[in-house]
Structure formats: C-alpha cells, structure tokens
Amino acid sequence: MLWILAAGYFMLISYPADKLEWYDAPLYPFLSLIIAIFVDTLIKKIKAIPIIASNRLIKNVAGFLIVLALLAPPYYQTILRVAKKDEITHTWAPEQIDEFRINGAFMKHLKEQKPLIRSYSVFTVPPEHAEHYDQIKFYQRSLEHNDNISIRIKNQQQELQAGEYIAVCDQKLKDTINANWTVSIQEKWKNCVLYELKSRKDPVIQPALLNQ
C-alpha cells in the first residue's frame, strides 16, 4: 500500500513543468517506513542464515552493522552538504543563482558585513505569487526582531528616496537605479549590490526637444 501511495504521488508531482526540491517532502515519512520495513526484513533473513544464527555475538552485531552500512553513506553526504558553504545556487545548475533565495542571503550577509547599517530597503520586482516574498519577509522580521534592523520592501522606483540604502539583486533593477540615480556602492556580494542613493539624476533632454 505504501509503495502504491509513493508511486502515485511521484507521478502527480512529475506532471507540472516547474519542479521544486521540496515537492517530495510530504513523502519522506512514507519512504522512511518503506525503507524501515525493507531493512527489518533484510536483517531477519540475514540473522536466519545458519552460520550467523549459531553464533550469538555475530547475530547480535549483524543488525547494527547492516544498519550502519546502509545509513552511514547518506548521513555522511548530508553532513558534507550542510557543512559546505552555501553558494545560493541550484543543485541541478551550480552556475545559476537561485533567485528565490538570493535576497534573503544578501540580507544575512549585510548583517554580518555591514553591522553599522541599521536601516535599508530591499528593492525587488513584484512577485507573481505572494509566497515568493516569504523568504525576504522571514529575514526582514528576523532581523528586525533579533537585531533591531529596520528593513522595508519596495518594488516601485517612485518609492525610492535620496539618502536611503537600497539592496538590489535583480540586474534590470540595478540598471534602473544606475540610470536614474547618483549612487555610492556600499557592498557587493555575488550579483547583489547595496547602494546609497545620493540624488536623482536630471532627466536627459533630447536635442530635438530643445529646438522646439
């Protein structure tokens, strides 16, 4: 029954064009039960082998060694993955920045590298879905609550004000700021920049308009 449930769910999540790593998370408890049943059956069959069954010491140690042999490699890989520095990239495309995580990671970076900056805005594109703001809002609330850092989220150029610090990771938004503002760069990290907005640039007047 568990196999049927797991296979059916895998088929269900394989249908959408977009697939995220956590789509299979609800299956983990069921997969754990399936693996546990398999390991338990395997241990019982091995212990039933005459040469092992006749030796009490080997029989008692056999189960531990089997579990250790099966679980040690994935645990070791998990420890290495957790200990490794997070490059904020996709596991399936290590050269590609994960746009869903980069803003939050930059906010964490600024807390560590720019502790004297206690107030800034995150300038980002409006999300297609509200939940795409969740990571930014998590760091916003965490930094405000734990570190008393005031953070605002803005997605309209009209909201920007001279004198404020702006954290930007999207290339088009960085181009917009550089085209419309005189800035001072306070920090660069990966594809993110922390700007201090000095003043708005005067709009460029086309020569044709001057002759009218």
Domain ranges for the chain: 2-10+24-83, 97-200
Rg, C-alpha atoms of the chain: 27
Residues 120, 151: contact at Cβ < 8 Å?
yes
Integer Cα distance of 188 and 106 in angstroms:
9
Least confident of 24-33, 133-142, 164-173: 24-33
Q: How confident is the model at residue 15 (pLDDT cuts 50, 70, 90)?
A: low
Q: Which two three-digit tokens encode residue 80?
A: 């290495």
Q: What is the pLDDT of residue 210?
A: 36
Q: Residue 117's CB: how many other CB atoms inside 10 A?
A: 16
Q: Structure pTM? A: 0.62
SS3 state at 167: strand
- Chain-centre distance for alpha carbon 185: 25
By the 10 Å C-beta count (0-12 exposed, 13-18 middle, 19+ buried), 58 is classed as middle
Residues 177, 165: Cα–Cα separation, whole Å:
12
Question: What whole-number percentage of the chain has pLDDT above 70?
Answer: 87
Closest CA to 120 of 92, 139, 97: 139
Measure CA 56 to chain center.
49
pLDDT at position 212, please?
A: 42
Of residues 181 and 81, the one with the higher pLDDT is 181
